[in-house]
């Protein structure tokens, strides 16, 4: 028996996701096996994406909830870009009041301000309250006495950066030029730094030449690889850059996929576009989707 699942392909500054509403296909079941998610996200044998997001119904005042898997199938706590993509489908499904969306994530409850096209009623951009940044090692989590000025050397290249938590772990490294940084060569090894018990995302940043409050960033995402953008990474990078006196409290983060706008404060706000790419329906049996025992 075939099991069709409708997927909505979206991207937010090039960080692309497959978003689905399990109630459209599999009522009450949303726990896909990690290997099956990885096959769906595979860019050669699957649909292709940086991650898979489930739009779930909210409880206790939330309009909806987000369950996020990275491209390797492992559950992730939070994605600012992914949250904007989820907001696109949530708005299309009629969730929220059309102006703001309250979303529960594994990193806590988040509020999303919606920028809706008045002619098409389609979400075109959103600003997410990402919560506060933390430099507390236990909260990141980080197995080190201080999150600041961490050193790492790989193949003769010495890196120095700060660890930061945005509901998920980050290592933000200051480099001369992110464009020439060895992101794909050294990122996989820095992700596995033993001081980060849950692995880490790795941002390579530098102040944008000739721009007072801009930074350039490339990112190696935990469980994904190099991506064109990372929302939580942009927030962590802006906070670290501010700590080093490179930028003020309103920061434009230039990533290969476009520009993200970060406002620093008691909590961090992340703004950026979201774009719908296409819809498709796949047969889950082709991807060896196996419901959990509890969902049968």
Per DSSP, the residues of 2-70 read: --EEEEEEEEETTEEEEEE-GGGTSTT-----HHHHHHHH-TTTSS--SEEEEEEE--TT-SEEEEEEE
Q: Are residues 30 and 117 in the same domain?
A: yes
Check whether residue 95 and residue 115 sit in a common domain. Answer: yes
Task: Write the CB contacts of 103 (distance below 8 Å, at least 6 apart in sequence).
Answer: 58, 62, 63, 64, 65, 66, 83, 86, 87, 90, 109, 110, 111, 112
Instruction: For residue 138, tell me if it sits in a domain.
Output: no
Confirm whether 137 is domain-assigned.
no
Domain holding 127, by residue range, is 4-131+274-295
Residue 142 in domain: no
Choose among 227, 237, 290: nearest CA to 262.
237
CB-side exposure of 144: number of CA atoms within 13 Å? Answer: 19
Q: What is the mean pLDDT of residues 162-186?
A: 97
> Does pLDDT of 217 surpass 70?
yes
Q: CATH number of the domain that 182 lies in? A: 3.10.310.10
Give the mean model confidence (pLDDT) for residues 172-182.
Answer: 97
Sign of the CA dihedral running 235, 237, 240, 245: negative
Kindly state whether residues 156 and 223 are assigned to the same domain: yes
Tens digits of per-residue pLDDT, 20-73?
987 775 434 445 566 788 889 999 989 999 999 999 989 999 999 999 999 998
Q: Is residue 213 part of a domain?
A: yes
Give me the sign of the Cα torsion angle 109, 113, 117, 121.
positive
Residue 226: inside a domain: yes
Q: Which residue has the higher pLDDT, 261 or 284?
A: 261
Say whether both 70 and 181 belong to one domain. Answer: no
Predicted confidence band of residue 1 (pLDDT cuts 50, 70, 90) = low
Number of domains in the chain: 2
% of the chain with per-residue pLDDT over 90: 81
Same domain, 25 and 98: yes
Residues 127 and 28 in one domain: yes
Whole-number average pLDDT of the chain: 91
What is the pTM for the complete model shown? 0.89
Q: Are residues 69 and 106 located together in one domain of the fold? A: yes
125 has a pLDDT exceeding 50:
yes
Same domain? For 186 and 84 the reply is no
Same domain, 105 and 165: no
d(CA 270, CA 167): 14
Selected residue with higher pLDDT from 53 and 292: 53
**19 and 75 assigned to the same domain:** yes
Distance, CA of 238 to chain centre: 15
3-state secondary structure of 156: coil
Q: Answer for the pair 126, 114: CB distance below 8 angstroms, yes or no.
A: yes
- Check whether residue 221 and residue 155 sit in a common domain: yes
| pLDDT of res. 292 | 42
User: Does residue 127 carry a pLDDT above 80?
Assistant: yes
How far is the C-alpha of 253 from the C-alpha of 178, rounded, in Å? 12
pLDDT at 296: 38
Residue 139 lies in a domain: no
pLDDT value, residue 287? 65
**Residue range 263-270: average pLDDT?**
97
Domain co-membership, 169 together with 193 = yes
């Amino acid at each position: 028996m075939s099991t069709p699942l409708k997927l909505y392909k979206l991207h937010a500054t090039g960080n692309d996701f497959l978003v689905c509403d399990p109630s459209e296909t599999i009522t009450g079941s949303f726990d896909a096996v990690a290997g099956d998610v990885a096959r769906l996200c595979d860019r050669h044998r699957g649909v292709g994406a940086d991650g898979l997001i489930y739009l779930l119904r909210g409880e206790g005042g939330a309009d909806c909830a987000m369950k996020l898997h990275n491209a390797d199938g492992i559950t992730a706590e939070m994605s600012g870009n992914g949250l904007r993509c989820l907001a696109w489908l949530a708005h299309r499904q009629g969730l929220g009041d059309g102006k703001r969306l309250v979303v529960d994530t594994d990193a806590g409850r988040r509020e999303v301000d919606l920028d809706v096209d008045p002619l098409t009623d389609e979400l075109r951009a959103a600003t997410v309250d990402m919560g506060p940044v933390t430099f507390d090692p236990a909260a990141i989590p980080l197995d080190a006495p201080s999150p600041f000025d961490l050193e790492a050397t790989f193949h003769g290249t010495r890196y120095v950066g700060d660890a930061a938590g945005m509901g998920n772990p980050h290592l933000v490294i200051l480099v001369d030029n992110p464009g020439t940084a060895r992101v794909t060569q050294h990122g996989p090894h820095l992700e596995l730094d033993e001081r980060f018990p849950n692995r880490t995302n790795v941002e390579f940043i530098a102040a944008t030449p000739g721009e007072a409050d801009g930074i350039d960033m490339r990112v190696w995402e935990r469980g994904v690889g190099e991506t064109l953008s990372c929302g939580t990474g942009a927030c962590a990078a802006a906070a670290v850059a501010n700590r080093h006196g490179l930028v003020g409290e309103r920061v434009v983060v230039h990533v290969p996929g476009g520009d993200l706008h970060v406002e620093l404060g008691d909590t961090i706000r992340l703004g950026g576009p979201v774009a719908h790419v296409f819809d498709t329906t796949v047969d889950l049996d082709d991807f060896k989707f196996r419901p959990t025992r509890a969902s049968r």
